[in-house]
Amino acid sequence: MTARLRRTLQVLMVAASLGAASGAWAGEEDDLQRQIETQRSGVADLERLDELKATTDEITRLRAWLDEAWALRSKHDYDQVREVLDRALKQADLIRAKITVSKLRAQAQRREAALQDTRNKIAQSRKALQDTTLKKKILEGGSQ
């Protein structure tokens, strides 16, 4: 093998390895981009679920983290993108939990109000019954 052929083969091997590496980076970048976009679409779902607006600050923070992940992806800092995406997933779980708690709290408050209304009606009925019983005794006492 001549030196020129050997050098050409070396250049081709280096070029092929660089091409494979950039293809792996592109695949990784595309994967991270899909994850970011998926989480962004999940934010819209979380906003729809949050009818009572109990997690607006947390949702704002989640959006900021996803923007940060997008910026880091553009800088090819994939390890940090993964860290931010993990943090964002945990934030989304926290938001779901807070939404559930706010809905349950509102349901409990409605039930407490209904219970109080029922107690008031019972008290009014007792009072009316006592008044009627007293009137009956007065009428029966007066007719004898």
- Tens digit of each residue's pLDDT (9 = 90 or more) over 45-72: 999 999 999 999 999 999 999 999 999 9
Structure tokens at 112: 């407490």
Residue 18: pLDDT band with limits 50, 70, 90: low
75 close to 22: Cβ distance less than 8 angstroms: no
Mean pLDDT of 73-93: 95
Q: How confident is the model at residue 3 (pLDDT cuts 50, 70, 90)?
A: confident
Number of Cβ atoms within 10 Å of the Cβ of 87: 15
pLDDT at 20: 46
What was the pLDDT predicted at 77? 92
C-alpha distance from residue 30 to each of 8, 20, 23, 69, 85 (Å): 32, 15, 10, 13, 14
Task: Decide: 66 and 90 in contact? Cβ < 8 Å.
Answer: no
Q: What percent of the chain has pLDDT over 90?
A: 74
Q: What is the pLDDT of residues 88-121, one digit of tens each?
A: 999 999 999 999 999 999 999 999 999 999 999 9
Average pLDDT over residues 20-37: 75
* Residue 24, pLDDT score: 45
| Secondary structure element (H or E) that encloses residue 84, with its range | helix 78-143
Output the average pLDDT for the chain.
Answer: 88
Amino acid 29: pLDDT: 87
